[in-house]
Amino acid sequence: MISSPSKHDVFQAIADPNRRRMLKLLADKEMPITEITNCFPITRTAVNKHLHILSNAGLVSRQKVGRETRYKLQLEPLVELKQWLAFFEHYWDEKLSALKNFVENNND
């Protein structure tokens, strides 16, 4: 298991729809906060807060370019999603065992 120094975990970070949209935007290109804010019906302060959480989760990085700070998507934490796959493996094991039980014991 990857231990990350993140204050927010990646799942928490992507649990919010605005933050998911931000990640999508940043997946296409690096953006300064002004440009990100223009894409959302929320205040710059709120956007900043969300970016802060994403950054704490290691999902975005900040880079100073001249006078502006640009935000960039970081893919590495998404590896954690692999663990999510492990969750689903387990999920299906349970469901398929229910299916087996259903077809083998349910007599019409």
Partner 1 sequence: MQSQDTLPEIRKTMILNAPIEKVWKAVATSEGIGAWWMPNTFEPILGHQFVLHTGQFGDSPCKVTELDAPNRLAFDWDEDWHVSFELKELEDEKTEFTLIHSGWDPEKHKVIRGIMDGGWEKIVKEKLPAYIEA
State which of positions 25-64 bind partner 1 (CB under 8 A). 27
* Min CB(66)–partner 1 separation in Å: 28
| CB closer to partner 1 out of 48 and 101 | 101
- Those residues whose C-beta lies under 8 Å from the C-beta of residue 40, and which sit 6 or more positions away, are 18, 21, 22, 46, 47
Give the C-alpha separation, 57 to 79, whole Å: 12
* Residues at the interface with partner 1 (CB under 8 A): 1, 11-12, 14-15, 17, 20, 23-24, 27, 73, 75-76, 78-79, 81-90, 92-93, 95-96, 98-104, 106, 108
